Amino acid sequence: MSNKNLSLLFTGQGAQFAEMGADFLEKYDWVKERYSQSSKILGYDLLEAQSDPSLLNLTQYSQPMIFVFSSIVIDLCKDYLHEHFSKITLAGHSLGEYCALYFAGALDFEEMLEVVKCRGDSMSIVSDPDKYLMYAILKKEDLRIDETLFGDGVYLANLNSDRQVVICGLKDIVNKFKEQNPIGKFIPLNVSAPFHSELMKDSARLFSEKIKNNLFKKINIDLISNHKLVNYKNISEKEYSNQLSLQIHSPVMWSETIKTILSEDINTFIEIGPKKTLLNFLPKYFHGEKYSFCSIEDIVNV
């Protein structure tokens, strides 16, 4: 791995699976302590919840699960990455933005897990897999989708790449939209709420109230937000909580985030999270190095 400019990408919700973190638990005693500590903060056994199919995909459980896993990978590789790269730029997809803030030192582990717990709990007030639905749409080749196509209860939640967008809304309305608009392959997501849409505004208000007393630390590393591509490095730490609240009910501008990062002459991307997803959204014209840190083997082999 070369000493050049690096971008770290942090995976969001939907990448969770029951066995994630098992290899780290077997190898490191401090990881066992991390899960024990997390369970005390959350008020339930995190590993038991992770192995329960009825809880795995519920917002209030999956968000802490993914954050704790990502924090372990971060703590294993953070010093190495700072030593070997002259410039690091961060971005996280939805929940991944909290992992990016943790990497940047905005809060310590316990404080950030508390914030993530507040986020998951706040978003769960509209969490109902029988009522809401999210689809990733893999657009047909060379098809340009007019964003005015969405509306009337169908919300554009993520603009992930030139080929993929994510929509959400009430299940019946979204499925009707799917039937009437054969614009590509519709892939249902393992989530239980209409994330990043107007339907999340009550959740955003509740979240904002819950974290109003959290004192974020000013970061000194570039971190591009999902909401309007704001760079946390360029705003006051007093604005972080509001930025995170707005992110809950605003579309994830991921494609534009990546274009912004690439304008900084990035040579290497590393994705941190339970599964490799975000590297798949990189544009075809990027010919640099790409790695995913999803397991001990991934990290050791770099």
Task: Please indicate, yes or no, whether residues 264 and 285 belong to a single structural domain of this protein.
Answer: yes
Task: Please indicate, yes or no, whether residues 120 and 255 belong to a single structural domain of this protein.
Answer: yes
Q: What is the mean pLDDT of the chain?
A: 93
pLDDT band at 84 (very low <50, low <70, confident <90, very high): very high
Task: Please indicate, yes or no, whether residues 104 and 166 belong to a single structural domain of this protein.
Answer: no
**What is the extent of the structural domain holding 168?**
132-188
Write out the DSSP string of 151-215: BTTEEEEEE-SSSEEEEEEEHHHHHHHHHH---EEEEE-S-SS-TTSGGGHHHHHHHHHHTTT--
Q: Domain count of the chain?
A: 2
> Domain holding 182: CATH number?
3.30.70.250
> Domain holding 75: CATH number?
3.40.366.10
Task: Please indicate, yes or no, whether residues 235 and 269 belong to a single structural domain of this protein.
Answer: yes
Other beta carbons less than 10 A from residue 54's beta carbon = 8
pLDDT band at 3 (very low <50, low <70, confident <90, very high): low
pTM listed for this prediction? 0.94
Other beta carbons less than 10 A from residue 28's beta carbon = 15
Task: Please indicate, yes or no, whether residues 102 and 208 belong to a single structural domain of this protein.
Answer: yes
Rg (CA), the chain: 18
**Structure tokens of 247?**
């992110």
Task: Please indicate, yes or no, whether residues 63 and 144 belong to a single structural domain of this protein.
Answer: no
Task: Please indicate, yes or no, whether residues 228 and 151 belong to a single structural domain of this protein.
Answer: no
Write out the DSSP string of 204-264: HHHHHHHTTT--PPPP-SEEE-TTTT-BGGGS-GGGHHHHHHHHHTS-B-HHHHHHHHHTT
Task: Please indicate, yes or no, whether residues 227 and 88 belong to a single structural domain of this protein.
Answer: yes
Task: Please indicate, yes or no, whether residues 279 and 145 belong to a single structural domain of this protein.
Answer: no
> What does the pLDDT average to over 276-288?
94
Cβ-contact 86, 6 below 8 angstroms: no
Strands 5-10, 268-272: pairing is parallel
Q: Which of 184, 48, 202, 195 is nearest to 122 (CA)?
A: 202
**Structure tokens of 231?**
């760079």
pLDDT confidence of residue 139: 87
Task: Please indicate, yes or no, whether residues 114 and 260 belong to a single structural domain of this protein.
Answer: yes
> What does the pLDDT average to over 48-73?
95
Final residue before a domain boundary, out of 170, 188, 206: 188
pLDDT per residue as tens digits for the range 217-272: 999 999 999 999 999 999 999 999 999 999 999 999 999 999 999 998 899 999 99
For residue 5, list its beta bridge partners. 87
Final residue before a domain boundary, out of 188, 205, 228: 188
Is the pLDDT at 279 greater than 80? The verdict is yes
Cβ-contact 122, 203 below 8 angstroms: yes
Q: How many helices (H) and strands (E) does the chain have?
A: 12, 9
**Structure tokens of 146?**
């007019």
Task: Please indicate, yes or no, whether residues 294 and 232 belong to a single structural domain of this protein.
Answer: yes
Task: Please indicate, yes or no, whether residues 295 and 211 belong to a single structural domain of this protein.
Answer: yes
